[in-house]
Chain A
Amino acid sequence: SQQGEEDPQALSIQEGENATMNCSYKTSINNLQWYRQNSGRGLVHLILIRSNEREKHSGRLRVTLDTSKKSSSLLITASRAADTASYFCASNFGNEKLTFGTGTRLTIIP
């Protein structure tokens, strides 16, 4: 498959701490997108990072992309209870569709 695993599969941290999630892929990408999914709900788009970009920020979110290692990370700073959700990376390999990773389940402990 083109898409590798995300790690960790599950992460529990105290409110206020930073959370880092990683995503790997196997072939060259056009862009990589991060999504959040609250339990049983829809997918909320967080950030898109293109293959020629190395870092992108949006509020408390920071995404990095290392195309030499075929990996990306999502950092959430100063976590809040409302950040509890599953986080997915999804890669676009130059066609239309997105290929999703397995996701990281993040739990923020108040």
Chain B
Amino acid sequence: EPEVTQTPSHQVTQMGQEVILRCVPISNHLYFYWYRQILGQKVEFLVSFYNNEISEKSEIFDDQFSVERPDGSNFTLKIRSTKLEDSAMYFCASDELRGSTEAFFGQGTRLTVV
């Protein structure tokens, strides 16, 4: 069964460092997303991406965050200068049809900022 894959599974970084989280969405999906889940809290939307541009972003997704689809398969989330409060599980997701079909999530990257 097709799946969304994310790497790395766990990333530890120093405060102020840049991190790049990587995702390979399901190949025939057109819409890509990043969500995050701070430990013990609900899953929160960060950004959606379609046709090589951001289509929606939340207020969490400030200037420190960026997304890119550098080639036909990868989808990345970059955090330029990490803060302690960026520590969370980050999930990539994809779906076929703009929220109207099942969104499939990856296993997540646990980011720990120290």
> Which A residues have a C-beta under 8 Å from some C-beta of B?
30-31, 33, 35, 40-45, 48, 88, 90, 92, 94-103
Contact at B107–A33, with CB atoms within 8 Å? no
How far apart are the CA atoms of A33 and B106 in the complex, in Å?
A: 16
A54 to chain B, nearest CB (A): 18
Given contacts A42-B91, A45-B102, A48-B101, contact A97 B108 (CB under 8 A): no
Number of A-B contacts (CB under 8 A): 67
* Any A CB within 8 A of the CB of B14: no
Residues of B within 8 A of A43 (CB): 43, 91, 93, 105, 108
Closest to A88 in B: B43
Q: A42-B106, A43-B105, A45-B104 are in contact. Are A94 and B99 (CB under 8 A)?
A: yes
B contacts with A: majority SS:
strand
B26-69 toward A: CB 8 Å interface, digit per residue (1/0)? 00000101010000001111001010000110100000000000
A96/B105 contact (C-beta < 8 A), A30-B100, A101-B42, A103-B42 known:
no
A98–B42 CB distance below 8 A:
no
- Residues of chain B within 8 A of A96, CB atoms compared: 31, 33, 48, 50, 55-56, 98-99
Chain B residues with CB under 8 Å of A99's CB are 45
Q: Which residues of B contact A33 (CB under 8 A)?
A: 102-103
Q: Are A42 and B105 in contact (CB under 8 A)?
A: yes
